[in-house]
Amino acid sequence: MRNFGPQSRPLQAAFVAACAILGSVAVLIAVPAASSVNSPDIGEARVSFGGHSARIVEQVSYRDGIERIADLALVDGHPIGAIDNPDVEAAWAIVDSVWPNSIRPNLVQLSIVSERPRGLVGVVHLGVNGGWILSLDRADLGDEVLVKETIVHEIAHVATLGPDSFAFGNDVPCGGVSIEIGCAAADSVMARFAERFWPDAVATGLSSDYVDEYAASGPHEDLAETFVAWVSGWPIGSSEVEAKFELLSTDPLLASLAATLELQLG
Q: 28 φ, ψ to 5°?
A: -85, 125
Q: What is the pTM of this model?
A: 0.81
Indicate the SS3 state at residue 144.
helix
Containing 223, the helix (H) or strand (E) segment is helix 219-232
Closest to 95 in 3D by CA, of 17, 60, 156, 147: 147
151-208 tens-digit pLDDT: 999 999 999 999 999 999 888 789 999 999 999 999 999 999 999 999 988 888 889 9
Average pLDDT over residues 8-34: 30
Which amino acid, one-letter code, is at 200? D
Task: Give the model's pLDDT for residue 127.
Answer: 87
222-234 tens-digit pLDDT: 999 999 999 999 9
Across the chain, which distance is largest between two alpha carbons, in Å? 56
Q: What is the mean pLDDT of the chain?
A: 80
Containing 39, the helix (H) or strand (E) segment is strand 36-40
Helix axes 252-265, 86-98, angle to 10 degrees: 120
Distance from the first to the final alpha carbon of the chain: 24
In whole angstroms, what is the distance from residue 227 CA to residue 249 CA?
Answer: 9
Average pLDDT over residues 202-223: 93
Is the pLDDT assigned to residue 3 strictly greater than 70? no
Which amino acid, one-letter code, is at 213? E
68 bridge partner residues? 113
Q: Is the dihedral of CA 230, 233, 234, 240 positive or negative?
A: positive
Task: Give the model's pLDDT for residue 163.
Answer: 93
- Inter-CA distances, 40 with 120, 127, 130, Å: 21, 10, 11
In whole angstroms, what is the distance from residue 107 CA to residue 105 CA?
Answer: 5
233-243 tens-digit pLDDT: 998 889 999 99
Indicate the SS3 state at residue 261.
helix
Number of helical H runs and strand E runs in the chain? 6, 14
Task: Give the model's pLDDT for residue 45.
Answer: 39
In whole angstroms, what is the distance from residue 88 CA to residue 52 CA?
Answer: 20
